[in-house]
Structure 1
Amino acid sequence: MDENARLNVVVFQVNGDEDDLLRAAAPAQAEDAIRQAWRQVQRERQVQPPDITRVHSVWQPSRVDRIFLAATFRGAEITHDFDRPADGDWDTAFEAAREENTKVQLESLRDAFVRAESEGEWLPILHTYDGPLKLYYSLPLVDDRLHLGFARATATPEGRVGMSHLLRNQADALSEDEFHELIDEAVGNLRRGLIVKVAPDPDKGPLVILERGDNSLCAASAVVMDDFAETIGAHVGEDQLLAALVSPDHIYVAGVSSGWAPELTEWVRTSPDTSGDLVPTLLRVDSHGIREIIAERPTGRVPASTSV
């Protein structure tokens, strides 16, 4: 049994803002699971009950929690995914929930893949050593740890990223000219709409943030562009750069001699991103390309924790 199915994950929405969501979890069978989740949230942020406009839980609130909700979050919308088992057979309920979640996830992945195939644009995709490199076509960038692949990529209306990766057998079937055309198209698509933002800091020096459109899809792949060091170096005043790939879509760059090294290292090592095959990484880059990996999130694809 997947232990995650035994947790009641509760989401508290603040002031109707879809981007301001507080999450916590408690044992699903607990009669006061939602109350426990609220206590966890309160330890992290002192939000007030009247500010909560929706409470969503994986499992239906118990009678105890329904009383708590009615008394604490008056007027808030209360929703849930799965009913509590009336007969008390939680093992059967957990298994049914797990199967339903698996079905929904597979359908969502399939839909995202189909959308990427039909609507996606070719983009360079970064993979770390634990990516599925036996299937994807990839080029080594740093030893056997960082690799470059290609995929048709798009963002769905639901916010999910859909990708259809270039596979090894597909790449082998391309002529040399076709392959170079694909690379040029992918890099051109990445470059198009790339926005360079500079945040000046009188003590640490300038920090560069690269974005692409509303979702910054694959913005971190900009580090592979031939003129990356020259272009970004002009903004930070030096040609030796630190590039923090916090996620496939988030990249922060500063000069090696700047005061940003501790922060960039910390952002990489504690990144909560679990979106893909790129483990958050800090790189040293110059005009010759990526020179070395300075730091990685130590826990691979699982978010690092700052608490003991």
Structure 2
Amino acid sequence: MPVTQHIRIDHGSAVQLAASAARRTALDQQLAGALPDRAAVLASELAGNIVKHARQGSLYIQPLPLRAGVEVLAVDRGPGMADPEQCLADGYTTTGTLGSGLGAVRRIADEFTLRTRPGAGTLVSARLGDPARHSPAPTPAVGAVCVPAAGESECGDAWGIAEIDGVRTAIVVDGLGHGAPAAEAAGLAVRCFHRDPQLPLPQLLKTMNRALRRSRGAAVTLVRLAPDGVEHCSVGNVRAQIVAPGAVRTRFGGQPGVVGWNMPEPRVQRIAPEPGTIVLLHTDGVDTRWAHDPSPFLTGLPAALLAGALVHGHRRTRDDATALAIGQARRDT
């Protein structure tokens, strides 16, 4: 399961730790040649930027969604950038260094997304894949972060996504409890999902219900994004909403129950698509109060950054936390 490595950048020594984690993730993803070293440079430059300029910053390092590769997501609550393009220019510096950090990151990454707000911080997603195995930059409208509870080595949350003929189907799972038993239940659900993600959503849930009968059980939410609309099917307390710039437009309601134990007959909710909206799913490790009065900056973030901003800013550390943000697939896929 694609679990995120969370590295707090609170000291200069964290820069090397982040670089090593990014290189290891790239090797695990079987990136060839110089690509693991380039992944390490992405992490090193982004971590170093936080050390020099920001506060309360972290790197989230993980495999890419939908293709082999590595993502380095940097989030901080620092002063932000008054002029992002100037900060990306080679040679620009406010600390007397060479001034090649963010510019180097943008050159090396095959997907680069940056948003900043003066006084509120900066978010950067830098993604690197293998051009010999996949065309570059096919998935900018997907972002995810999945981290275990504080003190746990295994994560009881999991997520997955499949894209077939321009239709995206996604799952977020919250295994009951924490640790290995919860991780086992969540993993079973995601493996069932990937066997045939094109099945009708209620049938997918029924297949998972059978597979999880000897497990802890789980809360499961499924969504399907097609050109003609969004489908939602959910049992348990994994939240789902549609986010647009400036607002949370729609909150889907999940059915009470536990997949694997006392699952009700699944039902599907459908809504028409709206241009520019993002479907956002998250487990209860993310405090739901974020949606009561969200800032326009948060709701206006692209999918590649929204999940990271949500987990970084609204995580409950005593629980596993997962957020998955999905936009519509490109029409030419």
TM-score, length-scaled by structure 1: 0.25
TM-score, length-scaled by structure 2: 0.24
The structure with higher relative contact order (CA 8 Å, sep 6+) is 2
Higher helix share: 1
**Higher radius of gyration, 1 or 2:** 1
